[in-house]
């Protein structure tokens, strides 16, 4: 942590874990090594629910050497909501960060999430989810497209998940609620506070890699959102079909433009090659002293500076996960 600026916002981080031996060590390392300035992580609470692998021993090794890490073990799996309630009961800070055990935060994710709480009207923030799946196969491409649509939707109306931060203005989540992030969002909105999206707070996760799991995940989420709307009267942004369709149409138009651009590029390339063949086969020596492309005769440094200035006005590209 950078101590040049005194931290102003303290937070408790909660990690819910079920058989996460493949990822939990990297996750804890990432949380312990967060780059923070305005924010201080005072504790990291891991709730291990009915784990049958090495998740608990791995976390115990961190508890032994890092005083900020605390572990609570549920002997049987009781669901994510029950694990979150264990975290809420034991978290000592008013600002809580909640993250799933199968994710990995970027090095400044907590800073970007929590610093927004300097505004007392903010009650909840959410991270920008980026999948690590390869988009080379169909389901991986589905995951990338869905999260890209979700990102665009969140820029207009936040729909938060995977990694969130919130003020602890409630004691627990009802056990019948499956979509915990959406319920927290509903509670925050009900109390008149703002829900904000933090696009710079990046969290990496792995999406489904087959159609069956993709459908299972989307089916479970939609059922949970419908239950939340039916019983508690709160509709998350992704269930508002008109808004989702609006965002989707923007993406479709972008895809149409890309296809048209590729077609035009192919036509120009073919025509250029035909002319090049003509110069070679008929004109013979025309390629030696060719017609100049006069638009290239510019001040290269001035053009570079102008392009850099334009890039600076666009949203910054998100860096990939740091090697560990």
Q: For 168-178, what is each residue's pLDDT tens digit?
A: 988 888 877 66
Q: Are residues 13 and 159 in the same domain?
A: yes
- 156 in any annotated domain: yes
The boundaries of the domain holding residue 296 are 248-310
Query: Residue 323 falls within a domain, yes or no?
Result: no
Q: Which residue has the higher pLDDT, 281 or 7?
A: 281
Rounded distance between C-alpha atoms, residue 105 and residue 107, angstroms: 6
Say if residue 138 is in the same domain as residue 260.
no
| Whether residue 158 sits in one domain with residue 53 | yes
| Greater pLDDT, 261 or 112 | 112
Residues 177 and 139 in one domain: yes
Q: Looking at the structure, tell me whether residues 83 and 199 fall in a common domain.
A: yes
What was the pLDDT predicted at 6? 55
Is residue 31's pLDDT more than 90?
yes
d(CA 159, CA 251): 18
Terminal-to-terminal C-alpha distance of the chain: 17
Is the per-residue pLDDT at 97 higher than 80? yes
Give pTM, 2 decimals. 0.67
Span 168-195, mean pLDDT? 81
The total number of structural domains that make up the chain: 2
DSSP string, 265-294: HHHHHHHHHHHHHHIIIIISSTTTSPPP-G
Which CATH number does the domain housing residue 222 bear?
3.90.550.10
221 and 258, same domain (yes or no): no
The chain-wide mean pLDDT, for the chain, equals 78
Q: Which of 210, 239, 268 is the last residue of a domain?
A: 239
In a domain? residue 257: yes
Regarding whether 291 and 235 lie in a shared domain, the answer is no
2: exposed, middle or buried (Cβ count in 10 Å: 0-12, 13-18, 19+): exposed
- 223 and 282 assigned to the same domain: no
Do 164 and 127 contact (CB within 8 A), yes or no?
Answer: yes
Q: Which of 212, 239, 266 is the last residue of a domain?
A: 239
11-14-20-24 Cα dihedral, nearest 10 degrees: 20
In this structure, are 208 and 259 located in the same domain? no
Residue 100 pLDDT > 50: yes
Asked if 176 and 301 sit in the same domain, the reply is no
Residue in 91, 152, 162 with CA at minimum distance from that of residue 126: 162
Q: In this prediction, what percent of the chain has a pLDDT beyond 70?
A: 63
| pLDDT tens column, 124-180 | 999 888 877 665 656 566 665 666 666 566 666 666 767 999 999 888 888 776 667
Strand 95-100 with 9-17, pairing: parallel
């Amino acid at each position: 942590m950078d101590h040049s600026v005194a931290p102003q916002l303290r937070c408790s981080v909660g990690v819910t874990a079920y058989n996460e031996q493949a990822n939990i060590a990297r996750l804890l390392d990432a949380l312990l090594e967060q780059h923070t300035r305005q924010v201080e992580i005072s504790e990291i609470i891991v709730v291990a629910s009915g784990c049958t692998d090495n998740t608990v021993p791995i976390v115990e090794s961190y508890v032994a050497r890092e005083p900020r890490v605390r572990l609570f073990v549920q002997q049987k799996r009781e669901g994510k909501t029950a694990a979150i309630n264990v975290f809420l009961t034991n978290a000592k800070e008013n600002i809580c960060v909640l993250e799933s055990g199968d994710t990995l935060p970027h090095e400044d994710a907590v800073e970007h999430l929590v610093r927004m709480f300097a505004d007392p009207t903010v009650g909840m923030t959410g991270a920008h989810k980026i999948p690590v799946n390869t988009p080379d196969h169909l389901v991986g491409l589905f995951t990338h497209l869905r999260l890209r649509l979700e990102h665009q939707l969140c820029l207009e109306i936040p729909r938060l998940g995977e990694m969130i931060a919130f003020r602890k203005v409630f004691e627990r989540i009802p056990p019948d609620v499956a979509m915990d992030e959406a319920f927290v969002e509903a509670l925050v909105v009900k109390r008149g506070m703002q829900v904000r999206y933090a696009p710079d707070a990046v969290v990496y996760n792995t999406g489904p890699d087959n159609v069956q799991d993709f459908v299972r995940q989307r089916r479970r989420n939609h059922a949970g959102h419908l239950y939340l709307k039916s019983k508690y009267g709160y509709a998350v942004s992704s269930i508002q079909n008109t808004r989702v369709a609006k965002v989707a149409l923007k993406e479709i138009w972008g895809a149409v433009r890309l296809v048209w651009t590729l077609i035009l590029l192919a036509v120009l390339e073919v025509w250029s090659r035909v002319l090049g063949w003509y110069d070679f086969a008929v004109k013979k020596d025309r390629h030696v002293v060719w017609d100049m492309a006069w638009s290239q005769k510019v001040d290269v440094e001035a053009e570079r500076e102008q392009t850099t200035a334009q890039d600076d006005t666009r949203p910054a590209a998100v860096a990939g996960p740091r090697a560990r």
